[in-house]
């Protein structure tokens, strides 16, 4: 399998991005694996700390390694990690990358903690990629303050000082989906970030609920990884509720099999749209 750094470099040159799907149930993972097998397109699967508490990285790793042995290009990331020991344990397991999230710290404390973590990882796992964040990306429904958007010069300083590989940008994106009003990204700000940081890998969190045109605009400006979670959750719940009205069975798989198929179609759409050369 192509090393993740090489794949991201190739994708960036071609104005493509990898979708990173959060896994909060084994059925979601099953849908991802089926979509990747059907399309032969790569992706990242990842766990947030709460998803890790439920799924456990060790179990997800076994599923992904089996998929890799079957030729499926699925990579592993720990998302929004704040527990350094847990991030290090994921790297020992064989994760391709981890996201150290110090965004709730003040800027200088975050910068120092991030640099310490990056230096430690580099000495032990030189091939692992490290994603970092210094602007806290808000939840849908919250009002961002003026400091929540990524400042290009601070971003340049942060990445140069820490030596990290990927930066999660805050450009009007939120975690979650606003069902009444689509999110509107500040593409002009992203263009400034791109001009300032050059070929630094950028990541877009909260990729659900953003129009395809807006997402593709970010990919043209250096975003190589787009996180997708809520869209999958919403489709899962919608489909499961529908199945509960259709069936009267004690066999769980009879409810979940069509749910997996429905989620798979959403995943396929994401894989195809992000792999297009725009």
The band of 140, judged by pLDDT with boundaries at 50, 70 and 90, is: very low
Q: Compute the distance between CA of residue 278 and CA of residue 276 in angstroms, rounded to an integer.
A: 6
Look at residue 172 in the predicted model and tell me its pLDDT: 80
Q: What is the mean pLDDT of residues 17-28?
A: 97
Token code pair at residue 226: 């787009």
Q: Give residue-wise pLDDT tens across range 216-237.
A: 999 999 999 999 999 999 999 9
Look at residue 212 in the predicted model and tell me its pLDDT: 87
CB atoms within 10 A of CB 221: 20
Token code pair at residue 184: 């509107």
For residue 39, what are the domain limits?
4-275
Number of domains the chain is built from? 1
Binding site for dihydroxyacetone phosphate, residues? 176, 206-208, 227-230
Look at residue 171 in the predicted model and tell me its pLDDT: 86
Binding site for Zn(2+), residues? 80, 101, 133, 175, 205
CA distances (Å), origin 127, targets 94, 118, 189, 191, 260: 10, 12, 31, 29, 33
Binding site, residues? 80, 101, 133, 175-176, 205-208, 227-230
CA angle 199, 166, 216 (to 5 degrees): 65
Is-catalytic flag, 79? yes
DSSP string, 69-138: HTT--EEEEEEEE--HHHHHHHHHHT-SEEEEE-TTS-HHHHHHHHHHHHHHHHHH-TT-EEEEESSPPP
CATH number at residue 140: 3.20.20.70
Strands of 178-271, DSSP E:
201-204, 223-228
Selected catalytic residue, list 24, 79, 151, 165: 79
Q: Give residue-wise pLDDT tens across range 68-117.
A: 999 999 999 999 999 999 999 999 999 999 999 998 899 999 999 999 99
The model's pTM is 0.93
């Amino acid at each position: 399998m192509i090393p993740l750094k090489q794949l991201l470099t190739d994708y960036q040159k071609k104005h493509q991005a990898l979708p990173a799907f959060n896994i909060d149930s084994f059925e979601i993972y099953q849908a991802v694996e089926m979509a990747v097998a059907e399309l032969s397109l790569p992706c990242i699967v990842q766990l947030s700390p709460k998803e890790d508490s439920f799924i456990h990285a060790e179990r997800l790793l076994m599923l992904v390694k089996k998929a890799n042995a079957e030729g499926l290009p699925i990579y592993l990331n720990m998302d929004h990690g704040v527990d350094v020991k847990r991030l290090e344990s994921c790297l020992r397991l064989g994760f391709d990358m981890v996201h150290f999230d110090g965004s709730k710290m003040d800027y200088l404390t975050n910068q120092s903690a991030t640099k310490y973590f990056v230096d430690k990882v580099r000495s032990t796992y030189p091939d692992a990629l490290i994603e970092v964040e210094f602007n806290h990306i808000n939840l849908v429904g919250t009002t961002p303050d003026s400091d929540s958007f990524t400042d290009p010069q601070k971003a340049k300083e942060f990445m140069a000082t820490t030596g990290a590989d990927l930066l999660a940008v805050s450009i009007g994106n939120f975690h979650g989906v606003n069902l009444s009003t689509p999110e509107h990204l500040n593409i002009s700000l992203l263009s400034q970030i791109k001009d300032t940081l050059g070929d630094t890998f950028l990541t877009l969190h909260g990729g659900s609920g953003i129009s395809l045109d807006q997402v593709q605009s970010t990919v043209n400006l250096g975003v190589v990884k787009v996180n997708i979670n809520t869209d999958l959750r919403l489709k899962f719940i919608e489909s499961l509720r529908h199945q509960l009205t259709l069936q009267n069975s004690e066999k769980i798989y009879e409810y979940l099999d069509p749910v997996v198929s429905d989620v798979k179609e959403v995943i396929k759409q994401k894989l195809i749209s992000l792999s297009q050369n725009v």
